[in-house]
Amino acid sequence: MSNEGNVRAVIDGILRGEILETFERYYSDDVVMTENGGDDRVGKDANRDYERAFVEGVQFHGAEVGRVLIDGDLAAVEWSFDLTPKGQSRVTQKQVAVQTWRDGKIVREDFYHG
């Protein structure tokens, strides 16, 4: 599948609420992820734990996708998530995910949100 097809498959998986399943399928074993330029989380195990804690800490109501840019091995996806963090009020979280792809897997993903 092309990078464009893979990016679209990740988007579709997340829109279906299959965040962890999508992570398992499309993220490299050596993936590096960051939040707002913070410290790197290195490796699939560390990032799986982070993603699992996120999923278990919110009630996911849905998401919308804005602009999607794909240029070779790079992609950027604009997201708007509708969720309720445990013990808090329902919120809309907007973020941009910047991805680097290699061999059909995400090898780096940087999230930018406020």
The share of the chain scoring above pLDDT 70, in percent, equals 100
Q: How many domains does the chain have?
A: 1
| Of 16, 35, 90, 80, nearest in space to 59 by CA | 90
| Residue located via tokens 């990032």 | 47
- Residue-range definition of the domain harbouring residue 89: 3-113
What integer pLDDT is reported at residue 47 of this predicted model? 97
What's the predicted TM-score (pTM) here?
0.93
The 10s digit of each residue's pLDDT in 8-30 is 999 999 999 999 999 999 999 99
Q: What is the CATH number of the domain that holds 14?
A: 3.10.450.50
- Total length of the chain: 114
The 10s digit of each residue's pLDDT in 60-94 is 999 999 999 999 999 999 999 999 999 999 999 99
What integer pLDDT is reported at residue 1 of this predicted model? 76
